[in-house]
Chains A and B, each alone.
Chain A
Amino acid sequence: MARPGVLLSSSGLRVGIAGRTFCRDLALTVQPGECLAILGRNGAGKSTLLSVLAGLRAPEAGEVLLDGASYAELGARASARIRGWLPQSRSEAFSSTVLETALVGRHPHLARWDWESAKDARIACQALAAVGLAELAQRDVQTLSGGERQRLSIATLLAQAPRLYLLDEPLAHLDLNHQIATLELFAARARDEAIACVMVLHEPGLAARFCTHALLLFGDGMTEQGPCQEVISSEWGCLESP
C-alpha cells in the first residue's frame, strides 16, 4: 500500500490512552517536502498520536509505516536513521556538555565500536550553530535555561539528520524570535532537502504560515485533515469554542 515517496503513512489507526480514544481509523500520508501540523486542545491526544507515529508506543489498532515498512520490520536502529523525535520535555540526570549532548544524535549513524569522528563533531557543531548555541558548546547542560535546552534538543535532532522530523511542541519554552526561527528552519528544510515534518503546535496562525497540511484532533475520536488553508480556515473556530 505504500506508494514510493511516502515517508510516513498510517492506516486504520486507532490511538487512545486510559480508556479514551483520540482517533479512529486514521489514514495519514506524509510525503517529502510536506509539513503537517497536529492541532487540538490540551488532552486531545496530540502527543500520544505523535509517539505512536514515532514508533515509541503501540497503537490500539492499525499500523504505521515508515518509508513503506513497519517499525518492527525496520528495527530501532534503521528507524532512527529515517525518523527523529523531539520529546516534549527531557531531564538530564547526569551532567554533560552541550556538544556531547548534540553528538548523541549521531548514534544511529555509528557502528557499534565507532567513536564519534571529526565529521560527526562538525555535524554537531553545525547543528548547534543552526539553533544559535555554538558559543555554549562547552557549557554543562544542567546550567542551561529552559529555552536553551529546547534548542539543544532541536540541535540533537538536527545532528541525527533524519528524513522525517516528528516534533512534539517544538516551540515550548522558546521566545517569539526563536519560535519563528525554529519554524523557518524546519519549513526551509522541508522545502529544500526533501524531508518532512510532523509537528504538534498550539498556534493555528503559525501552523497556517509554516505548514502545508494540518490534522485537527477534537479529543473525542473525531479528526479532520487536509491542506492547511482549508482545514484551519474552516475549522479552527471549533478549537476555540468549548
Chain B
Amino acid sequence: MPTRRRALLILAALAVLALLSIALALMVGSIAINPAEVLATLFGDGGGIADDVVRSLRLPRALTGFACGGLLALAGALLQVLLRNPLADPYVLGISGGAAIGALLAIVLGLGVAGLNGLAFVGALAAMLLVFGLAHGEGGWTQSRLLLTGVIVAAGCGAVVTLLLALAPDDRLRGMLFWLMGDLSQTGDPRLVLILLAVALLIALPFARELNLLARGADIAQALGVAVRPLRRGVYLVASLATAAAVTHAGAIGFIGLIVPHLVRLAAGNDQRLLLPASVLAGGSLLVIADTLARTLLAPQQLPVGVLTALIGVPVFLFLLSRAAPVGR
C-alpha cells in the first residue's frame, strides 16, 4: 500500500523529471542554448535570437507536448479502469478516429490550423457521442458492450481515413500522414491545453479511491458505497474530452496512453490516487523528450513524434515487464 508520504515523494521525483525534460527541450535544437541563457530568456529580459527561439518556438511546443502527453496518459489510465482492461488506450473507443476524419478533411479542404483543430475536435466529439449513445441503447452499459461499440466505431473511422488518404491530392498526403502519426510542429498557444489538463486532473483526483474500487468490479464497488452509474459516465466523459483535446492539438500520438499508465503501475502499484497524477507527469515528460528527439535526431528533418514515443516506450515497457514478472510468485 503506498502511503501518502511515499506517493508525494514519487510525485515530487516525477515533477523534477518533468522540469528536466522541458529544460532539455528548451536547450536542444538547431541552435544550442545553454541553461544560463534559457533562464535569462525566461525570467530576465534578454533579447536577441535566443529569446525568440525559446519564448516563441521551443517553450510553447514543449508545454503543448507536456500537456498533450499528460492528457493522453490520464485518459489511458481512466479508460483502463473503466473498461477493466489493462490493454485499453485512449483510442480504443474511436475518439482519435473521429478526430482523424475531421483533421484530414480539413487538410484536404486546405483549411488553416484553426480549421484543422476545430474539425478534429468536432470529429472527436461526434465519435464520443456516437459510442456513448449506441453503447447506452437499452438502459445500462456493460464494459464489453462499450468496448465493442468503440472498437467498431474506430474501425469505421479507420475506413473513412483510408478513403480520405486514397482520394487526397499528392501534395497534401505528407501533412495527413504526419497528423495521423502525431505531430507537434504546428502548435500554437499552449495555455488552453494546459488548463484542460489541470481541469481534467482536478476533476478525476477526488474520485481516485472510488476508481480503485471500480477497477475491482462494478458490483463490488457499488456494494462498498460507490455510486457506480454516475462515476462511470463521468470517467467516460473526462477521458473522452481529455483525448479529444490532446488529439486536436497534436494528432494521434500513439503509445503514451497505453504504456505510461502501465509503466507507473509496474513501478508504483495500481492505486489511482498515485497513478493518475504520476501518469500525467510521466506522460507529459515522455512526450516532451520524444518530441525533442523527433526534431533533433535527423535535423533539419523532423520526424513524426508518434514514431519516437513508440520507439522509446516499447523497449522500456518490455524491460519493466520482464523485470516485474517474478515479483510475488
Contacts and interface: CB of A to CB of B under 8 A. Distances in A.
Interface stretch (B58-66, B156-164, B212-220): B212-220
Nearest to B227: A76
Contact of A87 (B219, B226, B227, B328): B219
B72 to A, nearest CB: 20
A108 B220 CA distance: 12
B4 A91 contact: no
Nearest to B7: A115
Contacts of B210: 107
A204 interface: no
A95 to B, nearest CB: 7
Interface string B106-145: 0000000000000000000000000000000000000000
Contacts of A92: 216
B328 A115 contact: no
B157 to A, nearest CB: 27
A94 B215 contact: yes
B265 A108 contact: no
B86 interface: yes
Contacts of A76: 222, 225-228
From A75, A107, A121, residue with most partner B Cβ within 10 Å: A107
Contact of A99 (B1, B84, B328): B1
Contacts of A100: 1, 269, 271
Interface in B281-329: 327-329
Interface residues of B, number: 31
Main secondary structure of the interface of B (DSSP, over half): loop
Contacts of B209: 107, 110, 112
Contacts of B199: none
Interface stretch (A23-31, A36-44, A78-86, A187-195): A78-86
A93 B215 contact: yes
A127 B15 CA distance: 37
Contact of B217 (A54, A78, A91, A95): A91
A116 B4 CA distance: 9
A116 B181 CA distance: 43
A55 B85 CA distance: 26
Contact of B327 (A84, A103, A110, A140): A140
B249 interface: no
Nearest to B270: A94
A113 B206 contact: yes
B232 interface: no
Interface of B: 1, 3-4, 84-86, 206, 209-210, 212-213, 215-217, 219-220, 222-228, 265, 269-271, 273, 327-329
13 contacts: A56-B219, A75-B227, A76-B227, A85-B223, A90-B217, A94-B215, A94-B270, A103-B1, A104-B216, A107-B224, A107-B225, A107-B226, A140-B327
